[in-house]
Amino acid sequence: MNVLIVFAHPNPRSFNRAILDTLDEALRACGHATRIHDLYQMRFRAVLDDDDLARNWRGDLPDDILHEQEAVRWAQGLVFIYPVWWFGPPALLKGWIDRVFVRKFAFDFSADGMRGLLQHEKALILNTLGGDAATYSRERWEELLMRPLAEGVLGACGVRDVRYQAFYEVTSCSPATRQAMLDEVRALAALF
Ligand SMILES: Cc1cc2nc3c(=O)[nH]c(=O)nc-3n(C[C@H](O)[C@H](O)[C@H](O)COP(=O)(O)O)c2cc1C
C-alpha cells in the first residue's frame, strides 16, 4: 500500500519525531511505500486566506495545494502524527487540512448533502499528550481529540477505517515507558 504520513512537530529531536521514524521504518519493512510530508520542514503555508477561497471557487488551486493533493491521491493509507496542543492539532496541521481538503477534491455536495470523495481504505491518527489517560478517560476528553479529525474530517470525506491512538504523559514518563510506546507504534504498522 502507498502510505502518506503527514507530520506536524517543529522539533526534529522530539518524541513525535521518534514515533514518525519508528512507524516509517515499520511500514517499509512490511513492504509499503511511504512518503513523509513534514509540514514544519516544508514551511507549509497554513492560513486559508481570501485569495485561497477565491481560487477554490474558480478551481484554480495554487501549486503548493496541488502538490499536497497529488500526494493524498497517491496514497491508499493516510497517517497523521502530531502532539495535542490545546485539545487539537498544531495550527499548521489544521491549516493544511483547511487548504488541501477542498470541495471537489475531498468532498462535494449532492442533493443528499455532503459526500466524501476520498477513496482511502485506512487512516491512522497518532497523538502525544502531556496529560494522563485516567483524567482523559474520566472526563471523556479523548472523544474531543479523536472525533474532529477521525469523523469530522476523514470520515466525512469518505475514509472508511480510521484508527486513533493516543500516548499519554509523554513529557513525564520513563524512558522504558517511551520505549514501550514505540513498540506499540511499530505494531500499528500491521494495520496497513
Ligand atoms: C501549545 C501547547 C499546548 C498543549 N496542550 C495540551 C493539551 O491540551 N493537553 C495535553 O495533554 N497536553 C498538552 N500539551 C503538551 C503536549 O501535548 C506535549 O508537550 C507533547 O505531546 C509532547 O510531545 P513531544 O515531546 O514530541 O513534543 C501542550 C503543549 C503545548 C506546547
Question: Domain tally for the chain?
Answer: 1
* Cβ of 15 below 6 Å from ligand 1: yes
We report the CATH number of the domain holding residue 156 as: 3.40.50.360
3-class DSSP state for residue 42?
Answer: coil
Can you give the pLDDT at residue 166? 98
129, 170, 177, 182: residue to mutate for ligand 1 pocket, most atoms within 8 A of CB: 129
- Secondary structure element (H or E) that encloses residue 37, with its range: strand 33-38
- Kindly state the cell numbers that stand for 60: 484554480
CB–CB of 40/8 below 8 Å?
Answer: yes
Nearest to 23 by CA among 190, 177, 163: 190
pLDDT tens, residue by residue, 152-164: 999 999 998 999 9
pLDDT tens, residue by residue, 60-107: 999 999 999 999 999 999 999 999 999 999 999 999 999 999 999 999
Can you give the pLDDT at residue 155? 97
Number of Cβ within a 10 Å radius of residue 61: 19
* Cβ of 128 below 6 Å from ligand 1: yes
| Ligand 1 atom nearest to 171, measured from its CA | 22
Residue 32, amino acid: H
Can you give the pLDDT at residue 183? 98
pLDDT band per the 50, 70, 90 thresholds, residue 170: very high
Can you give the pLDDT at residue 9? 98
183: containing domain = 2-191
Average pLDDT on 170-177 reads 97
pTM exceeds 0.85: yes
* Cβ of 40 below 6 Å from ligand 1: no
Q: Which residues pair with 115 in a beta bridge?
A: 108
Can you give the pLDDT at residue 188? 98
Can you give the pLDDT at residue 85? 98
pLDDT tens, residue by residue, 132-152: 999 999 999 999 999 999 999
CA 171 to ligand 1 centroid distance, Å: 8
* Cell 503555508, residue located: 45
Residue nearest to atom 28 of ligand 1 (CA): 85
Can you give the pLDDT at residue 175? 97
CA 85 to ligand 1 centroid distance, Å: 5
Can you give the pLDDT at residue 171? 97
Residue nearest to atom 2 of ligand 1 (CA): 85
